[in-house]
Structure 1
Amino acid sequence: MSGADGLMSEVLVVGAGPVGLMAAGELARRGIAVRVVDRETTRDSLSKALVVHARTLEIMDLGGISDEFVKRGYPAPGLDVSLQRRGRPVSVNLRTLDTRFPYMLVLPQRQTEEILAERLSSYGVTVERGSEVVALEQHPDHVVAAVRAKDGREERIRARYLIGCDGAHSTVRRLLDLPFEGKQLDSLVLIGDVKADVDLVRSRITNLTSSRGFVSLLPFLGDHVRVFAVDFSRQNHTRNDALTLEELQETVNAIAPSKITLTEPSWLTRYVAPSRQVRRIRVDRFFLAGDATHAHSPAAGQGMNMGLQDAANLSWKLAMVLRSQAPTRLLDTYDLERHAVHTSVRHGTDQMFRAFTLTNPALQLARGILTRTVVTRAPVQRRLAGRLSGISINYRHAHLGERRRRAALQPGDRVPDADLWIAHRASIRLYELLRDPGYGLFVFATADRLAADRRHIAGLIAGVTQTYGPAVRPHLVVDEGVIDPTEMGAPVYVDVAGHFARKLGARHASVFLLRPDGYLAAHHTGLAPDQAVAALAPWCLQH
């Protein structure tokens, strides 16, 4: 065993699945010294997760890698639900979402991992495979993880913080003695990756139900699909019993209204969906993310997306605390924000799964009537699309600072992307401006009042810069006109499409502090430097 006297890492990430790769990549992008260990010697070849939702793609956009995801996947504009063997399906449409990504991106998990691994490698970080954590120690200013290699050698790794991204059977969670509370759901699920000859719209995710059970078809690029099925007549098996193509074909034949021929299986398995969660996701300098902290049914494809969003939420906070740009209490918001989201999503996916697996004929009939009469309404469609995509997730329940009455956006709300214009560039978007480290401070001014307040705006920007330094990057947004940025002390953008004013509810002298993950940290109206400095105080340390 080697000692723990060498150089200390700033963050140790345990687990190199999509969540661990995301956390490590976001930390490395911000200049944090990170190590990644994983007990497996090779990456899992199975693509367990298939859907990347809109909010996750926005997070990737903030990291500059969304285009690579979109290039490798294909966009499903919604999902169809057939509640009887005949008749038109009920659709949930994502095209009306206010996002660059109004769809579900179908992309096998292995490709998600490839993109994230390539980015991590570009920062000079190599995953240390075949390395299993066997013990953890908590110290006042660091942690120590005992890591055992396949050949039996052990190393004691010191780090300022540790993130456990090691899956549903998390060693980190076990060593922290955190119970994984909950249960397994009742129904046995059949899963197959197969080639399908089917007369359905292949761009959508299709859900079919009958008195026998339900089938969900998620098409890949090409002729292959992922089949999820619950067959009420095949619940006498255990999850370890081998699934054959013939069994899956017979189940699909019994439930689907038209013929679907399955061939060329690459993966067949039985699965029991979990509904589990830990009570807290932070223990001092230890954090949990992804399946290590929450596990739920595959309904709506939320599992990996929740984990990737966990990683994005935590990484920027750790980076700013480690760089002494934010108070350590900022780390408390990780548990406050994400645990509530985990609970809400877990309950939502449980309800969806149970709705699809109703066995009582009367309840099945009621489900059909309710779906056809309620789900088709526009307000319900918007609500479902927001929840399915993750666009509606907010952190109002855990915000720092004051809330604003009657504001379009409240602290903790997601900030939509906005098109802006700056001289000598073809175009630029708000999310592109948030890619740089630190918070983004945006002051909005109207052209008719800019001349009178020009000095006050420059004074506010100078005051914030002098107080918080590189932790806060100031910008001025105007509704029209061309302004000399050197005079203002910050880049000047034009709200050329009116997105900034409309989506953020900006008016003259509005001041917004935007988090690196695209949520609103603070908002006030007024150009006094002291007011701005005070509004930012819960989020930043003076430099």
Structure 2
Amino acid sequence: METSMSVLVCGAGPTGLVTAIELARRGIDVRIVDAAPEPSQLSKAAVLWRRSLEVLHPSVPVERFTAHGRPVHGIQFEADGSVLQEIDFGVNRGKFPHGLLIPQNRTEAVLTQALFDCGVQVERGMAVKDFSVSRKHVDVCFSDGQRRQFSWLIGADGAHSTVRKCLGVTFPGVAIDRRWLLADLELADSGPEDRIRMFLAPAGLLGLFPYGKRVWRVIADAGPIDPEIPRRDPTGEEMFHMLCSRSGLDWKLTKVHWLSEFRINERQVDRYCHGRVILAGDAAHIHSPAGGQGMNTSIQDAVNLSWKLAMVEKEQASMALLETYQSERHPVGAAVLQGSGRMLRIMMNQNPLIRFFRRRILPYIVGLAPIRKEAVNRLSEVDVEYCEGPLAQNERDRWIGRRCPDVPWGDDGVSIYDLFKGTGCTVIRLGSGARDESMWGRVISAAGPDAIAIDAVDSEGKITEEARPFARSLAVDSGTIVIVRPDYYFGPVSSDIDGILSWFTALKHL
């Protein structure tokens, strides 16, 4: 058996690629393999939501994605050729769009290049065949007969995960007994390409997602599965007829790019962490595509896991820190599964009362300002927080565990997210008053060697001008120290130095 490496990532979809990037930039020796001989040229997911763009930005700048995508500004609900209601995402005052319509294969290409820039290449045509786990290592057997020893194995190999199956872990849940069709169609004179369009037809839901250059992702409910009819992909004519009949509009089809049929499963494992083997992304949870949150939830799994695993591998924290990956991300996956499943069932139900609700009542409800705001926040995943976990045990701190907002740092277009250049925590002092310089030094020291310190104190001891928008967004006074975790959620936001030091101690010695 060959000598040990630190981490093997199994699967080179978005989850595996982000995991490998985040580990590599933290100096962890990582290897990533994928059974497919070539990257897929097909596109499953269609949207990168705001929170994913935020957490990726320090390692993969948002501009790399926007160069290949199109910002989405809203969702229209339509029926019989007219607009019933529109959820306008509102004016974007930050660096990141509420959502970016970008085919998954382009997202993967950007991530693959970013990983290559970190000095790591995906090994394709290489599958994990089996493995055994000891107290300190995972012994992996590959499909070519090679055996290798790793400190950790990350199962990011999708819904049919080999890693999960080798663990013997069940994947409880349900299969939705309906046929769904998917196509990428090029349409002439297709209307505005800055919003998602949902057609609420009696025959079933049909959604349109603009990719730009007149190419649209079409997804349609094709009704209950008939066990007597073999599974098959739709034809271009079938999809085009469905588009015209359900939208009530005239279209002109110029090209068919891709056609597929798929089935929806809703499943989640009970535990993500199994000693030195950890599951992430679709290997851990799969759900309805309603809301387009599957890939985004998986990317955020990867970001949450990677900084914690890096700390453990560098012996900067105990293995108990990895349990917070379970306690923080499992509830998020469960909430997405529940929310997307509820929406899917509302859209599929053919009961006359539900159909009336869907066409006449639901558009009115989502048009109400508070509901619209909640819907936008939920879609873009900026409402995700970790206020109940082991790293948020301070009831007096109202920010701990919450997302760091995207606010300007100065007035030259710089976002607070542009400052997150380190691989550890970011420590920000907003004005003086935190006792004395020696205490500030103790906080920086406690944050560890990978931390970045930002001293936003002017010559008079006040908060610097460029930092004031950030301070106002938190409603904090001069003398406050802000700790931002490596996944860009808040640690302590406080002037209590002893409390901050205690948090760092807990982080390292859970």
Q: Give the TM-score normalised by structure 1.
A: 0.88
SS in 2 for 1:441: strand
Counterpart residue number, 1:462: 441
Instruction: Give the whole-Å Cα distance in 2 for the aligned partners of 1:358 and 1:502.
Output: 46
> Amino acid of the residue matched to residue 310 of structure 1?
D
1:64 deviation in Å?
4.0
Question: What whole-Å deviation, never above 9, does each CA across 1:321-376 have from its counterpart, x for those lacking one?
Answer: 22222332211111111111011001111111112212112211122333233211
Question: What whole-Å deviation, never above 9, does each CA across 1:39-72 have from its counterpart, x for those lacking one?
Answer: 1111111111111111111012132421100111
Counterpart residue number, 1:394: 385
Instruction: Give the whole-Å Cα distance in 2 for the aligned partners of 1:279 and 1:375.
Output: 33
Change beyond 3 A, Cα 1:338–1:234: closer
1:535 deviation in Å?
3.0
Question: What whole-Å deviation, never above 9, does each CA across 1:371-419 have from its counterpart, x for those lacking one?
Answer: 23321111111100010011111111224253334x5x43211011232
- The unaligned stretches of length 5 or more in structure 1 are 485-491
Question: What whole-Å deviation, never above 9, does each CA across 1:250-272 have from its counterpart, x for those lacking one?
Answer: 22222112112334212112111
Instruction: Give the whole-Å Cα distance in 2 for the aligned partners of 1:539 and 1:495.
Output: 32
> Amino acid of the residue matched to residue 20 of structure 2?
A
> Amino acid of the residue matched to residue 121 of structure 2?
T
Instruction: Give the whole-Å Cα distance in 1 for the aligned partners of 2:484 and 2:381.
Output: 18
Aligned residues: 510
The answer on whether the counterparts of 1:278 and 1:294 sit within 8 Å (CA) in structure 2 is yes
The correspondence for 1:411, drawn from 400, 403, 409, is 400
Change beyond 3 A, Cα 1:473–1:435: closer
Change beyond 3 A, Cα 1:64–1:86: closer
1:233 deviation in Å?
8.6
Say if 2:367 is the partner of 1:376.
Answer: yes
Counterpart residue number, 2:42: 46
Question: What whole-Å deviation, never above 9, does each CA across 1:273-297 have from its counterpart, x for those lacking one?
Answer: 1111111111011111111111112
Say if 2:466 is the partner of 1:443.
Answer: no
My pick for the range that moved more, 335-344 or 372-381, is: 372-381
Say if 2:30 is the partner of 1:34.
Answer: yes
Instruction: Give the whole-Å Cα distance in 1 for the aligned partners of 2:5 and 2:447.
Output: 26
Change beyond 3 A, Cα 1:174–1:388: same
My pick for the range that moved more, 466-475 or 509-518, is: 466-475
My pick for the range that moved more, 509-518 or 330-339, is: 509-518
Change beyond 3 A, Cα 1:236–1:531: closer
The correspondence for 1:299, drawn from 290, 305, 309, is 290
Counterpart residue number, 2:61: 65
SS in 2 for 1:301: coil
Question: What whole-Å deviation, never above 9, does each CA across 1:119-138 have from its counterpart, x for those lacking one?
Answer: 11112212121111111111
Mapping 1:227-266, distance limit 5 Å? 227-232=218-223, 238=229, 240-266=231-257
Change beyond 3 A, Cα 1:256–1:428: closer
Instruction: Give the whole-Å Cα distance in 1 for the aligned partners of 2:91 and 2:383.
Output: 13
Question: What whole-Å deviation, never above 9, does each CA across 1:398-450 have from its counterpart, x for those lacking one?
Answer: 24253334x5x43211011232359xxx67432222231211122222xxxx4
* Aligned-pair Cα RMSD in Å: 2.4
The answer on whether the counterparts of 2:186 and 2:214 sit within 8 Å (CA) in structure 1 is yes
SS in 2 for 1:158: strand
1:495 deviation in Å?
4.4
Instruction: Give the whole-Å Cα distance in 2 for the aligned partners of 1:49 and 1:88.
Output: 25
SS in 1 for 2:177: strand
Instruction: Give the whole-Å Cα distance in 2 for the aligned partners of 1:264 and 1:360.
Output: 36
Mapping 1:170-249, distance limit 5 Å? 170-232=161-223, 238=229, 240-249=231-240
Change beyond 3 A, Cα 1:417–1:144: same
Counterpart residue number, 1:105: 100
> Amino acid of the residue matched to residue 123 of structure 2?
E
The answer on whether the counterparts of 1:14 and 1:166 sit within 8 Å (CA) in structure 2 is yes
SS in 2 for 1:313: helix
Counterpart residue number, 1:487: none
Instruction: Give the whole-Å Cα distance in 2 for the aligned partners of 1:467 and 1:393.
Output: 27
SS in 1 for 2:291: helix
Change beyond 3 A, Cα 1:256–1:429: closer
Change beyond 3 A, Cα 1:401–1:81: closer
Counterpart residue number, 2:112: 117
1:219 deviation in Å?
1.3
Counterpart residue number, 2:331: 340
SS in 1 for 2:402: coil
The answer on whether the counterparts of 2:138 and 2:151 sit within 8 Å (CA) in structure 1 is yes
1:186 deviation in Å?
2.4
Change beyond 3 A, Cα 1:358–1:464: same
Instruction: Give the whole-Å Cα distance in 2 for the aligned partners of 1:194 and 1:373.
Output: 30
Change beyond 3 A, Cα 1:251–1:87: closer
Say if 2:501 is the partner of 1:522.
Answer: no
1:231 deviation in Å?
3.4
1:493 deviation in Å?
7.3
Say if 2:504 is the partner of 1:508.
Answer: no
SS in 1 for 2:67: helix
Counterpart residue number, 1:22: 18
Change beyond 3 A, Cα 1:441–1:468: closer
SS in 2 for 1:240: coil
Instruction: Give the whole-Å Cα distance in 2 for the aligned partners of 1:500 and 1:399.
Output: 26
SS in 2 for 1:178: coil
Instruction: Give the whole-Å Cα distance in 1 for the aligned partners of 2:314 and 2:240.
Output: 56
SS in 1 for 2:494: strand
Say if 2:397 is the partner of 1:429.
Answer: no
Say if 2:84 is the partner of 1:89.
Answer: yes
The answer on whether the counterparts of 1:212 and 1:255 sit within 8 Å (CA) in structure 2 is yes
The answer on whether the counterparts of 2:180 and 2:223 sit within 8 Å (CA) in structure 1 is no
1:101 deviation in Å?
2.1
1:473 deviation in Å?
3.3
The answer on whether the counterparts of 1:196 and 1:225 sit within 8 Å (CA) in structure 2 is yes
> Amino acid of the residue matched to residue 488 of structure 2?
G
Change beyond 3 A, Cα 1:243–1:86: closer
The answer on whether the counterparts of 2:94 and 2:415 sit within 8 Å (CA) in structure 1 is no
The answer on whether the counterparts of 1:435 and 1:516 sit within 8 Å (CA) in structure 2 is no
SS in 2 for 1:209: strand
SS in 2 for 1:400: helix
Say if 2:125 is the partner of 1:130.
Answer: yes
Change beyond 3 A, Cα 1:355–1:260: farther
